[in-house]
């Protein structure tokens, strides 16, 4: 596997760390449990990490030097891809390894996979996780525009890869419409959740574990602190909710999990959190919003269980792993009607869906869930029931089927 900028062992919620890291980690573990040997190659980012780390029996994470060890913006990483590819090849040659297949994640990895696929004579499978052309439709180009280089590399990967993994029917449609993807190469494989970690916990116990008041109305946000995750919209919705329902200000709290609260994890993200803090101050919500930073998976499950609802206000999502994790804990979700979220969350049954970027609709949906106990209980039961359909074992089953199909086609003699 190639995951240039997303290490499966990285601290989640920090700069450029989120659902993709979880996906690669859990899929790799599942494949290794089936006896498939997996090496995950990623750019060396954390100085304290060893070059090679064991992820599971039969699965390793191998850090490749490309530029200075530490955080780099994506386009700076792109400028180092030749170096990374060369260092990766040297490592493989030194170990005397031979791989049957390459599975690349994200557009940066697609560029490396294309070169290695040609040089090694093995097929490459691609999963993008997010698509540049989709992000262009929803993002402010002046703030966080997607480069033409990214779009070019994505188009090339769609043409040249042996198979493309889409996390939902909607992402598959986007690949067909925007990238002219061939149905014969498209595989729709949803993400999964670990039910042994993300499971219902009695809310009172979860609040004791997380130090939260038993009587407060608790809203949870989990994710990277970036514009695309809609955190700005959520804060505006909360301010609007308090203007409409001033009685709710006294006992309603938003917990923000994710993001670096120290300069060592990326100055840009720290600046974004400061921008959000200013928004909180402008709306006199200092007592209502708590930025708690990153949490590990076990702690995160406790926070999901402690919350009355999980808000997922993303501007776009290829799948919506945070929504699925919350649902597995029996926590209702209020999410935006975008991308794969529309297939994960069933409106009115496991959560409520609202238009992206609409703070008024988001405020109304949050108020409904917080003030209607019967609705909240109904959504909680529906959320847990729906989440049971999505497991990493099911993901692994489909990925193995994909690998077998790709390898069979690759080995088949060419008819003249």
Q: What does the pLDDT read at residue 274? A: 85
User: Distance (Å, rounded) from C-alpha 327 to C-alpha 387?
Assistant: 6
Which region holds residue 42: left if phi is over 0, alpha if psi is between -120 and 50, else beta?
Answer: beta
Q: Is 90 exceeded by the pLDDT of residue 158? A: yes
Region 166-174: mean pLDDT is: 96
pLDDT value, residue 19:
87
Residue 246 has pLDDT above 60, yes or no: yes
With a cut of 70, say whether residue 268 has pLDDT above it: no
Number of CB atoms found within 10 A of residue 94's CB: 8
More confident residue, 274 or 62: 62
Q: Where are the domains of the chain?
A: 19-192+392-411, 203-387
**pLDDT band at residue 137 using 50, 70 and 90 as cut-offs:** confident
pLDDT band with cut points at 50, 70 and 90 for residue 270: low
Average pLDDT over residues 124-133: 96
What is the reported pLDDT for 210? 95
User: What is the average pLDDT value for the chain, to the nearest integer?
Assistant: 92
| Local structure of 89: helix, strand or coil | helix
What's the CATH code, domain 19-192+392-411?
A: 3.40.50.2000
- Per-residue model confidence (pLDDT) at position 273: 82
DSSP state of 5: S
Q: What is the mean pLDDT of residues 236-265?
A: 85
Three-point CA angle 401, 406, 409, nearest 5°: 125
Q: Is the pLDDT of residue 275 over 90?
A: no
Q: How confident is the model at residue 329 (pLDDT cuts 50, 70, 90)?
A: very high
Tell me the pLDDT tens digit for each residue of 289-326: 999 888 888 999 999 999 999 999 999 998 999 999 99
Q: Tell me which of 267 and 309 has the higher pLDDT.
A: 309
CATH number (3.40.50.720, 3.40.50.2000, 3.40.50.2300, 3.10.20.30) of 203-387 reads 3.40.50.2000
Is it true that 19-192+392-411 and 203-387 share their CATH fold? yes
Residue 386 pLDDT: 94
Looking at residues 390-413, what average pLDDT do you find? 95
Q: Which two tokens stand for residue 2?
A: 């190639």
d(Cα 368, Cα 401) in Å, to the nearest integer? 43
Strands across the sheet containing 186-188: 102-105, 124-127, 163-166, 186-188
Using one digit for the tens of pLDDT, what is the confidence trace for 37-55?
Answer: 999 999 999 888 999 999 9
Looking at residue 15, its pLDDT comes to 61
pLDDT per residue over 4-17, tens digit each? 999 998 876 556 66
* Residue 416: pLDDT over 70: no
Q: Is the pLDDT of residue 262 over 50?
A: no
Q: What is the pTM of this model?
A: 0.90
CA-angle at 17, arms to 233 and 88, nearest 5°? 145
Q: Categorize the per-residue pLDDT at 409 as very low, low, confident or very high, splitting at 50, 70 and 90.
A: very high
**CA 375 vs CA 219, 328, 330, 354: distances in Å:** 16, 17, 13, 16
Residue 408 in this model has a pLDDT that exceeds 90: yes
Q: Answer yes or no: is pLDDT of 267 > 50.
A: no
224 has pLDDT over 90: no
Pick from 68, 77, 70, 94: nearest CA to 3: 77
**Confidence (pLDDT) at 259:** 73
pLDDT, tens digit, for every residue of 185-211? 999 999 999 999 999 999 999 999 999
Do 180 and 156 meet the contact criterion of CB atoms below 8 Å apart? Answer: no
């Amino acid at each position: 596997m190639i995951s240039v900028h997303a290490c499966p062992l990285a601290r989640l919620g920090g700069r450029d760390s989120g659902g993709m890291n979880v996906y690669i980690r859990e899929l790799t573990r599942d494949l290794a449990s089936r006896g498939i040997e997996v090496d995950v190659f990623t750019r060396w980012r954390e100085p304290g990490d060893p070059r090679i780390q064991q992820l599971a029996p039969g699965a390793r994470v191998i850090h490749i030097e490309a530029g200075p060890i530490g955080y780099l913006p994506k386009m700076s990483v792109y400028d180092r891809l030749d170096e990374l590819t060369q260092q990766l090849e040297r490592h493989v040659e030194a170990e005397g390894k031979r791989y049957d297949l390459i599975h690349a994640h994200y557009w940066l990895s697609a560029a490396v996979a294309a070169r290695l696929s040609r040089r090694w004579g093995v097929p490459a499978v691609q999963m993008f996780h997010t698509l540049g052309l989709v992000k262009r439709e929803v993002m402010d180009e002046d703030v966080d525009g997607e480069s033409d280089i990214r779009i070019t590399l994505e188009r090339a990967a769609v043409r040249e890869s042996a198979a493309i993994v889409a996390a939902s029917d909607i992402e598959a449609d986007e690949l067909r419409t925007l990238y002219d993807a061939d149905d014969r190469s498209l595989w729709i494989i949803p993400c999964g959740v670990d039910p042994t970690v993300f499971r219902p916990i009695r809310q009172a116990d979860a609040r004791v574990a997380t130090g939260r008041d038993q009587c407060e109305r608790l809203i949870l946000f989990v994710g990277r602190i970036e514009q695309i995750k809609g955190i700005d919209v959520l804060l505006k919705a909360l301010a609007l909710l308090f203007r409409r329902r001033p009685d709710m200000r006294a006992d309603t709290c938003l917990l923000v999990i994710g993001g670096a609260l120290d300069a060592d994890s990326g100055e840009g993200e720290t600046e974004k959190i400061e921008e959000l803090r200013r928004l909180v101050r402008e709306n006199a919500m200092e007592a209502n919003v708590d930025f708690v930073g990153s949490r590990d998976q076990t702690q995160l499950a406790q926070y999901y269980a402690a919350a009355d609802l999980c808000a997922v206000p993303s501007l776009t999502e290829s799948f919506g792993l945070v929504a699925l994790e919350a649902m597995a804990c029996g926590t209702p979700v209020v999410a935006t009607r975008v991308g794969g979220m529309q297939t994960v969350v069933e409106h009115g049954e496991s959560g409520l869906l609202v238009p992206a970027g609409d703070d008024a609709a988001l405020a109304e949906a949050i108020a409904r869930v917080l003030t209607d106990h019967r609705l909240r209980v109904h959504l909680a039961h529906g959320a847990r029931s729906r989440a049971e359909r999505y497991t990493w074992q099911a993901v692994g089953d489909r990925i193995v089927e994909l690998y077998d199909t790709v390898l069979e086609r690759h080995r088949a003699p060419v008819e003249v």
